[in-house]
Amino acid sequence: MLKVENLHVSVEGKEILKGINLEIGAGEVHAIMGPNGSGKSTLSYVLSGREGYDITEGRVLFNGKDLFEMSVEERAWAGVFLAFQYPVEVPGVSNIYFLKAALNGIRKFQGLDELDAMDFISMVKSKMKDLDMDEKFLYRAVNEGFSGGEKKRNEILQMSVLEPTLCLLDETDSGLDIDALQIVAEGVNRLRDPKRSFVLVTHYQRLLDYIKPDYVHVLAHGKVVKSGGPELALELEEKGYAWVDEKIAS
Amino acid sequence: MSVMHLSNTHYTSLLSAHKNNLMGQDVSWLKSLRKKATEGFSVTGFPTLREEEWRYTNISPIEKKQFVVAEKPGKLDAAFVKAVLLEGCYHLVFVDGFYQAELSSMDGLPAGVTVSALSEALSEHEALIKSLLDSTVETPALGFVNFNTALFTDGAVISIEENTVLDKPIQLAFISSKEAALKLTNSRNLVLAKASSKASIIETFHSVEESCHHTNVITEVVVEPNANLSHNRLQAESLKAYHIGGVYSRLENNAIFNQSNYTFGANLSRCEIHGTLGEASDCTLNGLYVGQDKQHMDNHTRLNHAHPHAVSNEFYKGVLGDSSRGVFQGRIVVAQDAQKTDAKMNNRNLLLSDRAEVDAKPQLEIYADDVKCAHGVTVGQLDETAIFYLRSRGADKQTAKNMLTFAFANEMIEGIDFEPLRMAVLEELLKRFPQAGMKKEWL
DSSP B298-345: EEEEEEEE-STT-EEEEEEEEEE-TT-EEEEEEEEEE-TT-TT-EEEE
pLDDT at B435: 56
Distance (Å, rounded) from C-alpha B300 to C-alpha B359? 11
Burial of B369 (0-12, 13-18, 19+ CB in 10 A): exposed
Distance (Å, rounded) from C-alpha A242 to C-alpha A236? 9
Nearest to B235 by CA among B303, B292, B316, B174: B174
pLDDT at B1: 39
pLDDT at B398: 86
- Cα dist from A126 to A129, A133, A161, whole Å: 5, 10, 10
Residues of B in contact with A140 (CB under 8 A): none
Touching check for A115 and chain B: CB below 8 Å?
Answer: no
DSSP state of A175: T
pLDDT at B2: 36
Q: What is the strand order of the sheet A223-228 is part of? A: A80-83, A166-170, A197-202, A29-33, A215-220, A223-228
Structure-derived torsion over alpha carbons of residues B94, B100, B101, B104, reported in degrees to the nearest 10: -50
Amino acid in the structure at residue B425: V
Question: Which domain range does residue A166 map to?
Answer: 2-249
C-beta atoms of B389 and A49 within 8 A: no
The HSE-up count of residue B78 (CA atoms within 13 Å, CB side) is: 2
Distance (Å, rounded) from C-alpha A152 to C-alpha A126? 18
Touching check for B390 and chain A: CB below 8 Å?
Answer: yes
Nearest CA in chain A to B438: A101
C-beta atoms of A93 and B391 within 8 A: no
Touching check for A91 and chain B: CB below 8 Å?
Answer: yes
Q: What is the mean pLDDT of each run of 10 residues along chain B (443 residues)?
A: 54 89 92 95 90 92 94 94 97 97 95 95 95 91 92 97 97 97 97 98 98 98 98 98 98 98 98 98 98 97 98 98 96 97 98 96 96 96 94 90 90 94 94 64 52
The HSE-up count of residue A18 (CA atoms within 13 Å, CB side) is: 12
pLDDT band at A92 (very low <50, low <70, confident <90, very high): confident
Q: What are phi and psi of B278, to 5 degrees?
A: -80, 180
Distance (Å, rounded) from C-alpha B378 to C-alpha B298? 16
Question: pLDDT digit string (tens) for B276-305?
Answer: 999 999 999 999 999 999 999 999 999 999
- Cα dist from B58 to A16, B54, B160, B297, whole Å: 54, 7, 38, 11
CB within 8 Å of chain A, chain B residues 175-204: none
The CA-based angle B274-B278-B281, given to 5 degrees, is 90
Residues in Cβ contact with A116 at an 8 Å cutoff, skipping those fewer than 6 apart = none
Mean pLDDT calculated for residue range A67-87:
95
Distance (Å, rounded) from C-alpha B113 to C-alpha B129? 15
Residues of A in contact with B403 (CB under 8 A): 90, 93, 97-98, 101
Q: Percent of chain A having pLDDT more than 90?
A: 73
Distance from CA of B384 to the nearest CA of A (A): 10
Question: pLDDT digit string (tens) for A182-238?
Answer: 988 999 999 999 999 999 999 888 899 999 999 999 999 999 999 999 999 888 888
pLDDT at A234: 87
Question: pLDDT digit string (tens) for A144-178?
Answer: 999 988 999 999 999 999 999 999 999 998 888 88
| Domain residue spans of chain B | 2-277, 385-443
Strand bridging mode B68-69 / A223-228: unpaired
Mean pLDDT calculated for residue range A51-59:
94
C-beta atoms of B392 and A48 within 8 A: yes
C-beta atoms of B395 and A72 within 8 A: no
Distance (Å, rounded) from C-alpha B98 to C-alpha B230? 24
Strand partners, B204: B173, B234
Distance from CA of A132 to the nearest CA of B (A): 22
Strand partners, B319: B290, B350
pTM of the model: 0.89
User: B134 by DSSP, 3-state: which?
Assistant: coil
Amino acid in the structure at residue B302: R
**Which CATH number belongs to the domain containing residue A142 in this structure?**
3.40.50.300
How big is the A-B interface in CB pairs under 8 Å?
87
| Residue B228 near residue B254, CB atoms below 8 Å | no
Mutual orientation of helices A117-130 and A148-162 as an angle, nearest 10°?
130
pLDDT at B3: 41
Distance (Å, rounded) from C-alpha A200 to C-alpha A206? 12
Q: A4 versus A248: which is more confidently predicted? A: A4
Distance (Å, rounded) from C-alpha B176 to C-alpha B183? 9
In this complex, the residue of B384, B389, B394 whose CB is nearest that of residue A162 is: B394
- H or E element that contains A45: helix A40-48
- What's the number of domains chain A is made of? 1
Question: pLDDT digit string (tens) for A223-247?
Answer: 999 999 999 988 888 888 888 777 7
DSSP B253-315: TT-EEEEEEEE---SEEEEEEEEEE-TT-EEEEEEEEEE-TT-EEEEEEEEEE-STT-EEEEE
